Amino acid sequence: MAVSDAKHAYAAEEPATTEGAPQQAAAPGAARGRLGRRALFHGPGWLGLRIGTDAVLLVLGTLAAVVGAPDSVSQSDQALVWAFPPLTIGLLALGGLYRDHIQVKLIDGLGKVLATAALAAVTLIAAAAVLDPAGDHAPLLARAWLLAGAYLAGGRLLLAWTQRHARATRLIAKPTLIVGAGEIGSRVERRLEAQPELGLAPVGYLDADPPPGSMVPERRAPVLGGPSDLRRIAAENEIEHVVLGFSSAPDRLLVPLVRDCEALGLEVSMVPRLFESVNIRIGLEHLGGLPLFGLRTIDPKGWQFAVKHVLDRLGAALLLVLLAPLMIPMALAVRLSSPGPVFFRQQRIGRDGRRFKILKFRTMRGNAAELEMPANVLPLNRDIAPGGVEGPDRRTPVGSVLRRSSFDELPQLFNVLKGDMSLVGPRPERPEFVDVFGEHISRYDDRHRVKSGITGWAQVNGLRGRTSLHDRVEWDNYYIENWSLGLDLKILIMTLSAPFTARAE
């Protein structure tokens, strides 16, 4: 594809129009409206919108605190509390909470925002205590923090959702150039195409010596030129963002490329070497002018995971008690739907390659021996995980409902209680498939460092049933490398809030 073709492939989502004066007249207005909306959600306009929204909500929260305050609150306290909104905005700016990020996260970051608002309130309380020791300023400021903090959090969530929607509809997508047309570069392209909410639209590649397409079958965007063509390609394709993947060019040649990007005003992101070992706990230090990254990992057999497993069992026991009124009728419905056992048991591979029998509500007709589909008759694609309906469809009406809702997975709480599984972790697979996938999927066996889970990071990101194994393994290993109790809680919330798909494992 030529450079001009690549540009038009990305360009403007304006629909083609037929001939006619009214349509031709409307096109410039539509384009101006689209540019106006883009300016609102991008750059200085987006920064101003966020600061303005935060300011209005903080003022409204503070006003609600003052209006609802008891009559005993002094005038000096009411005057002091109005320093809360500007101080909070100043601290948010100093903390980098107005910086734009590639990933717009609806939940992550709210803790920092609320902590910053709390810091502003505590600072004012401390200052008032020094200047006026006899006064009692804490109640009104605490009330302002609670109300304004709630307003602020709601506004932040609304703005984050709005920006994600604007990006997902390509309203504010930035034309993006990927440096390096190899496997890593193609993976970057695939991720950006699969997640339009990141706001980066891949236009093409920059690589002086790209591998042939037969070696990188997932590469879709064209190779537009080499590093020396950056200025021309950036101008012709209106590039705004550059992602540095792994290129055949030596690193010493990439430094001038980065300098050229800076001179052109292009945003630059980089996929680091050894990216498989990079996690959120990485530490940055400097030896003179030389950056030094410290790789810090959590031992899956250490005390942190021991705490996780204790909480898993307590959570499973509590959920079994709470869900008993739901699970008992389900068990009766399964038993009455067709002859056969209530539960379906199947061997799976868990932590350290240990075998265990996973427990589910039976969803198919037949006895225990007939429910197992021999592995040698199942279609096997080395990059597609098995799942869904395998072989003839023998689901009962009750079983179909249980699979669509994923309620057939609930008996796995007994696996968690027994210690075979966790509430959150990589989904377990059958032994015959593990042997095959371990040979052909990079880092597949690494996911067995931790216990399997009822739900997981890959599942809440849409990788359930017959989806890409490479993607699932990547997400599973990301979860292990970046594990925290907070991440587990986030996955559980996403599992409960997201609608279940019809695909079942």
User: Are 73 and 186 in a shared domain?
Assistant: no
> What is the chain's pLDDT, residue by residue, as a tens digit (505 residues)?
444 443 333 333 333 333 333 434 444 444 455 555 667 777 788 889 999 999 999 999 999 988 876 665 666 667 788 899 999 999 999 988 888 888 777 666 788 888 999 999 999 988 888 877 766 778 888 888 999 989 999 999 898 888 888 888 887 889 999 999 988 999 999 989 988 888 899 999 999 888 898 888 889 999 999 888 999 999 999 999 999 987 777 777 788 899 999 999 999 999 888 787 788 888 888 888 888 888 888 888 889 999 999 999 999 999 999 999 999 999 999 999 888 899 999 999 999 999 999 999 998 886 544 555 555 544 455 567 666 666 566 788 998 899 888 899 999 999 999 999 999 999 999 998 888 888 888 889 999 999 999 999 998 888 887 778 888 998 999 999 999 998 999 899 888 876 543 343 4
What's the residue count for the chain?
A: 505
User: Are 311 and 243 in a shared domain?
Assistant: no
> Exposure pattern of 216-250 as b/e (b: 16+ CB <10 Å)?
beebebbbbbbbeebeebbebbebbbbbbbbbebe
Domain assignment present for residue 382? The answer is yes
Are 357 and 416 in contact by the 8 Å Cβ rule? The answer is no
User: Are 330 and 398 in a shared domain?
Assistant: yes
The rounded distance, in Å, linking the Cα atoms of 39 and 53 is: 16
User: Are 160 and 183 in a shared domain?
Assistant: no
Domain assignment present for residue 22? The answer is no
The rounded distance, in Å, linking the Cα atoms of 283 and 41 is: 32
The owner of tokens 């306290």 is: 77
Closest to 222 measured CA to CA, from 202, 241, 240:
202
Domain boundary among 168, 186, 206: 168
User: Are 214 and 346 in a shared domain?
Assistant: no
Q: How many structural domains is the chain composed of? A: 3
The rounded distance, in Å, linking the Cα atoms of 11 and 175 is: 9
- Listed in sequence order, the DSSP H helices in 343-442 are 368-371, 397-405, 412-418, 431-440
Domain boundary among 254, 271, 288: 271
The rounded distance, in Å, linking the Cα atoms of 1 and 204 is: 10
Domain assignment present for residue 320? The answer is yes
C-alpha of 433 from chain center: 28
Which residue range forms the structural domain that includes residue 191?
174-271
User: Are 404 and 458 in a shared domain?
Assistant: yes
Closest to 279 measured CA to CA, from 261, 264, 293:
293
Domain boundary among 151, 168, 185: 168
User: Are 180 and 126 in a shared domain?
Assistant: no
Domain assignment present for residue 460? The answer is yes
Helix axes 43-67, 84-94, angle to 10 degrees: 150
User: Are 437 and 414 in a shared domain?
Assistant: yes
User: Are 205 and 162 in a shared domain?
Assistant: no
User: Are 338 and 483 in a shared domain?
Assistant: yes
User: Are 151 and 249 in a shared domain?
Assistant: no
The rounded distance, in Å, linking the Cα atoms of 189 and 219 is: 7
User: Are 180 and 157 in a shared domain?
Assistant: no
Are 394 and 365 in contact by the 8 Å Cβ rule? The answer is yes
Domain assignment present for residue 17? The answer is no
For position 187, which CATH number holds?
A: 3.40.50.20
C-alpha of 341 from chain center: 39
